[in-house]
């Protein structure tokens, strides 16, 4: 089954053609990072307008890359939410229009489920497994019993991990989006240079606001002196990745899961991947999406449309939604 998928929930206009949920035939991403950098974050109204401008060219490029015509597509999919409403509307209306014009089904997809499904691309992964989902807007551990049977078994009570990465990066004077820059600097620093606090919360909770405050105090303590950027980044990255992996591992054991996967933009983080893959030596099987399928993309939407679409009686009446 060939699915043409669109992702437009935030600041990436992306399209992909995916075969049977696992094989990516073509994949295009147009990132708006340059536009939003001068504002230090995504401006929803500006993002929606950019999606409108780029959606046509990105659709065209995706078909050209694949050498496939719209008539050969079996279904058209898009992210329906959660995300920025004005942005989601662009992708959803484009996908519905393509479906209507070519007389094929439209398949709505949940953005968070799509991140999880990025792990099915080019892999032999099958449920059950435990998934650590870490993105700019969400931090959750999900027990995936089956493709369409999932339970959130832990989530953040304040900030999402990606959000904290971006805020701490801004504190250090790094440009938006800070996560990837912070990760790069961290790799050159000493992870034990500063002892940072770990939140004392339940096994089904994450909390990062205390860590954020500790970093604010730490950076301020240098006053006029130069901030040891690399060591602070490395210590922050160590604290975050250690907490995420420890909690996920505990929950995997609690639910009797020997397979652990990660997903979302922060799944691209070097230290998180290192700690996750190290669990292979302890009898676990671990997976993470290829780097290009961690941050927002449409290949994961195409996979999710195949494995775990939003179930609704009349998909063409599906509307966008901002929150999970």
Chain positions contacting ligand KG4, by CB under 6 A: 10, 135-137, 162, 165-166, 177-180, 183, 264-266, 268-269, 295-296
Other CB atoms closer than 10 Å to residue 128's CB: what's the count?
Answer: 15
Toward Zn ion, which CB reaches closer, 241 or 295?
Answer: 295
Give the CA diameter of the chain.
65
Question: Least distance in Å: CB of 38 to ligand KG4?
Answer: 17
Residue 183 contacts which entry, ligand KG4, Zn ion, none (Cβ below 5-8 A, type-dependent):
ligand KG4
Residue 308 contacts which entry, Zn ion, ligand KG4, none (Cβ below 5-8 A, type-dependent):
none
Question: Least distance in Å: CB of 84 to Zn ion?
Answer: 11
Cα–Cα distance for residue pair 67/64, rounded to 1 Å: 5
Toward Zn ion, which CB reaches closer, 87 or 249?
Answer: 87
Toward ligand KG4, which CB reaches closer, 59 or 272?
Answer: 272
Is residue 233 a contact partner of residue 186, using CB atoms and an 8 Å limit?
Answer: yes
Question: Least distance in Å: CB of 228 to ligand KG4?
Answer: 20
Is residue 201 a contact partner of residue 189, using CB atoms and an 8 Å limit?
Answer: no
3-state DSSP: the chain helix, strand, coil percent, rounded to 5? 45, 20, 35
Q: Which residue in the set 296, 305, 315, 318 belongs to the binding site for Zn ion (CB under 5 A)?
A: 296
Residue 180 contacts which entry, ligand KG4, Zn ion, none (Cβ below 5-8 A, type-dependent):
ligand KG4
Residue 191 contacts which entry, Zn ion, ligand KG4, none (Cβ below 5-8 A, type-dependent):
none
**Residue 35 DSSP class:** H
Toward ligand KG4, which CB reaches closer, 135 or 207?
Answer: 135
What are 95's two structure tokens? 């996908």
Distance of CA 296 to the CA centre of its chain: 6
Q: What b/e sequence results for 288-310 when a residue is b if at least 16 CB atoms lie within 10 Å of its CB, and e otherwise?
A: bbeeebbbbbbbbbbbbbbbbbb
Question: Least distance in Å: CB of 281 to Zn ion?
Answer: 30
Question: Least distance in Å: CB of 156 to ligand KG4?
Answer: 13
User: Counting contacts by CB under 5 A, is residue 119 touching Zn ion?
Assistant: no
Q: x/- binding map, residues 180-219, to Zn ion, per CB under 5 A?
A: ----------------------------------------
Cα–Cα distance for residue pair 118/70, rounded to 1 Å: 23
Q: Residues with Cβ < 8 Å from 207, sequence gap 6 or more?
A: 156, 157, 158, 199, 201
Binding site for Zn ion (CB under 5 A): 135, 296
């Amino acid at each position: 089954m060939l699915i043409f998928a669109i992702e437009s929930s935030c600041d990436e206009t992306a399209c992909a053609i995916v075969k049977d949920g696992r094989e990516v035939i073509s994949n295009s991403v147009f990132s708006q990072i340059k536009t939003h950098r001068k504002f230090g974050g995504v401006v929803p109204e500006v993002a929606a307008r950019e999606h409108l401008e780029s959606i046509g060219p990105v659709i065209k490029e995706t078909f050209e890359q694949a050498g496939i015509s719209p008539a050969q597509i079996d279904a058209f999919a898009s992210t329906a939410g959660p995300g920025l409403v004005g942005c989601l509307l662009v992708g959803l209306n484009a996908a519905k229009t393509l479906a209507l014009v070519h007389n094929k089904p439209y398949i709505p997809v949940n953005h968070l489920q799509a991140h999880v499904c990025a792990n099915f691309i080019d892999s032999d992964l099958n449920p059950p497994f435990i998934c650590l989902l870490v993105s700019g807007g969400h931090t959750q551990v999900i027990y995936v019993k089956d493709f369409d049977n999932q339970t959130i078994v832990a989530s953040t009570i304040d900030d999402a991990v990606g959000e904290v990465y971006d805020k701490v990066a801004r504190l250090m004077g790094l440009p938006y989006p800070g996560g990837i820059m912070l990760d790069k600097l961290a790799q050159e620093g000493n992870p034990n240079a500063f002892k940072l606090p770990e939140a004392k919360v339940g096994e089904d909770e994450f909390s990062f606001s205390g860590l954020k405050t500790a970093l604010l105090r730490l950076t301020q303590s240098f006053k006029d002196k130069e901030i040891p950027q690399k060591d602070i980044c490395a210590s922050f990255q160590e604290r975050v990745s250690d907490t995420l992996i420890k909690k996920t591992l505990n929950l995997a054991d609690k639910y009797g899961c020997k397979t652990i996967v990660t997903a979302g933009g922060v799944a691209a983080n070097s230290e998180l991947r290192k700690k996750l893959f190290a669990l292979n030596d302890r009898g676990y099987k671990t997976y993470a999406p290829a780097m290009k399928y961690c941050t927002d993309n449409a290949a994961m939407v195409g996979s999710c449309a195949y494995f775990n679409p939003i179930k609704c009686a009349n998909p063409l009446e599906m509307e966008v939604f901002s929150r999970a």
